[in-house]
Amino acid sequence: MFFDDHREHGLRHSPFKALVAPRPIAWVSSVDAEGVANLAPFSYFNACADRPPTIVFAPNNPRPNGENKDTLRNIEQTNEFVVNLVGYELREAMNLTSAHVGAAVDEFELAGLTPTPSVHVKAPRVAEAPVSLECRFLTRLRLPSDHPEVENNLVIGTVVGTHIADHIIRDGMIDMAAYRPVARLGYMDYTSVESVFEMLRPD
């Protein structure tokens, strides 16, 4: 099949997110100007450079009340955030933190997680997370939207501090079997890394 208008695919649901899959999940912690913590998952996320390590993620549609997502508002107020990565054991807690709750609600508490101080940024990291990347906000790009209620944004951040849980490091390498990062597929589906194969470059 082929379609060019993304609204006219003729399938039960838009296949887009199932096609660009799996997508890793940025579990972003931030604080507002008063220091109230916030935590939310974003699967429009990836690494885009490594010298220095740089990440992008997309806090898109405004919340149901029309306001920007707390994550975006906090990052623009404080210029910093943490991308925590989600190991398999944390999948339910991650999902809980996607609830549309008021800005005053601390999702760490909501999901029974432990906020722990970061080294370079005010936002706490998730103590239970196998990996946390402390980030400085670089820029926000406003992306085109074809719907009046939809807003699309790309946030770019430079990684200024990296935390890795000791139990996922083996022989100086990241042990993916211990890490088991969770990733988003389409619909309500997820996956986690359970198998790895190696392939050397031709040159």
Ligand X SMILES: Cc1cc2nc3c(=O)[nH]c(=O)nc-3n(C[C@H](O)[C@H](O)[C@H](O)COP(=O)(O)O)c2cc1C
Binding interface with ligand X (CB under 6 A): 25, 38, 40-44, 58-61, 63, 69-71, 95, 98, 100, 184
- Give the shortest CB-167-to-ligand X separation in angstroms: 24
- Give the shortest CB-145-to-ligand X separation in angstroms: 12
* Tokens 């139990």 sit on residue: 167
Q: Which is nearer to ligand X, 163 or 184 (CB)?
A: 184
Q: Which is nearer to ligand X, 54 or 60 (CB)?
A: 60
Q: Which is nearer to ligand X, 100 or 167 (CB)?
A: 100
Q: Which is nearer to ligand X, 17 or 169 (CB)?
A: 17
- Give the shortest CB-171-to-ligand X separation in angstroms: 31
- Give the shortest CB-103-to-ligand X separation in angstroms: 8
Q: Which is nearer to ligand X, 73 or 169 (CB)?
A: 73
Q: DSSP letters of the chain?
A: ---SSTT---SSS--HHHHS--EE-EEEEEE-TT--EEEEEESSEEEEEETTEEEEE---S--TTSPPPHHHHHHHHHSEEEEEE-BGGGHHHHHHTTS---TTS-HHHHTT--EE--SSSSSPEETT-SEEEEEEEEEEEEEP-SSTT--EEEEEEEEEEEEE-GGGEETTEE-HHHH-BEEE-STT-EEE-----------
- The C-alpha atoms of residue 23 and residue 9 are separated, in whole angstroms, by 22
Residues near 12 by Cβ (< 8 Å), separated by ≥ 6?
none
- Give the shortest CB-191-to-ligand X separation in angstroms: 12
Q: Which is nearer to ligand X, 114 or 191 (CB)?
A: 191
- Give the shortest CB-38-to-ligand X separation in angstroms: 5
